Amino acid sequence: MSELRGVIVSHAAVAQALVAAVKAITGIDDALTPISNEGCGTEALGERLREAVGPGPAVLFVDLPGGSCFTSSARYAKQGGAEIAVVTGVNLAMLLDFVFHRDVAPADAARRAVDAGAKAIRVTA
Amino acid sequence: MTLALYRIDDRLIHGQVVVGWGQPLNCSFIVLVDDEVSSSDWEQDLYRMGVSPQIEVIFASVEQAAAQFSDWEADARVGILLVGDVETAVALAARVPQVKRFNVGGVHHRAGRTERLRFVYLTDEEASKLRELAARGVEVTAQDVPTARAVPIGEFT
């Protein structure tokens, strides 16, 4: 199985910042590709996804569970032909876990990422 | 209240609409007028996911919208009506003379379109159709978010 790519799909520069943070913490810079929806209609965002995902397989990490990033990603996953899973509510913790666990199927990687991301959200005081 | 915003936006339901406009307007329902989406359960599920459960989302074709428009206008709640392109806006305005304004909120680049504003790209034909709409008494402005200036049609077509 070829190693999974992660593609982060976000508003503004959130995706780029997350990729930079993962690299700063882990040194890994070849597992994640950032995409912004800045200036994109549905068609242009679909094209950015196509370029980033390539032949797949991939997990798409989307910032919000709705909106243009999400609808384009879900549509691409359904129609794009590659083996793709979509995760919403991306955070740094899930990406840090993901980059070290990419030798599984997209659906399994997505579930693992969601667990890791959820565990990082807590009230501490 | 009534329909408070009539918007042309090729992203349809997304953050700027639901949060950027929906919050300050205290929007309780969104009418999405699109022939393709209105005939696809899967697309409707996708767009519904971007909206909190307390906001009702109504999907309609142009024909259905023309038939139900007066009900939405008479609704006691605040609503937003969305179309995805200039063609649908023109078709709706032609069938529903009560439509008196359109906010161009996001029409993005594709082949044949040129940049008019950072968030508005139009073909010459689309620009012409918007001017015709304005000439028939529909107020057409471009404004992506409520805090931005509403740009009059003469400045972007």
* Domain layout of chain A by residue ranges: 5-119
| Minimal C-alpha gap between B133 and chain A (Å) | 23
CA pair distance A52, A48, nearest whole angstrom: 6
B154 inside domain: no
Specify whether the CB–CB gap between B31 and B77 falls below 8 A.
Answer: no
Q: Is A21 helix (H, G, I), strand (E, B) or coil?
A: helix
CA pair distance A24, A42, nearest whole angstrom: 32
**Cα A100–chain centre separation:** 14
pLDDT at A42: 83
Which domain does B21 fall in, by range? Answer: 3-148
B126 inside domain: yes
Subunit contact A66:B11, Cβ cutoff 8 A:
no
**Residues contacting residue B72 through CB under 8 Å, at least 6 positions apart:** B2, B3, B29, B31, B58, B79, B81
Structurally, chain B folds into a number of domains equal to 1
B64 inside domain: yes
Residues of B in contact with A78 (CB under 8 A): 42
Say if residue B52's pLDDT is above 70.
Answer: yes
Say if residue A60's pLDDT is above 60.
Answer: yes
Say if residue A39's pLDDT is above 90.
Answer: no
B129 inside domain: yes
pLDDT at B1: 61
List the CATH number of the domain containing B100: 3.40.35.10
B78 inside domain: yes
pLDDT tens readout for residues B75-117: 999 999 999 999 999 999 999 999 999 999 999 999 999 999 9
pLDDT mean over B65-71: 96
Question: Which CATH class for the A5-119 domain?
Answer: alpha beta
In this prediction, what percent of chain B has a pLDDT beyond 90?
Answer: 93
Residues of B in contact with A41 (CB under 8 A): 10-11, 106-110
Best of A14, A64, A68, A76 to disrupt the B interface by mutation (most B CBs within 10 Å)?
A68
pLDDT at A25: 95
Better-predicted residue by pLDDT, A13 or A82: A13
For chain A, which residues lie within 8 Å of any Cβ of chain B, measuring from their own Cβ? 11, 39-44, 64-68, 70-71, 74-75, 78
pLDDT at A2: 60
Q: Are strands B101-106 and B139-142 parallel, antiparallel or unpaired?
A: parallel
**What ipTM was predicted for this assembly?**
0.77
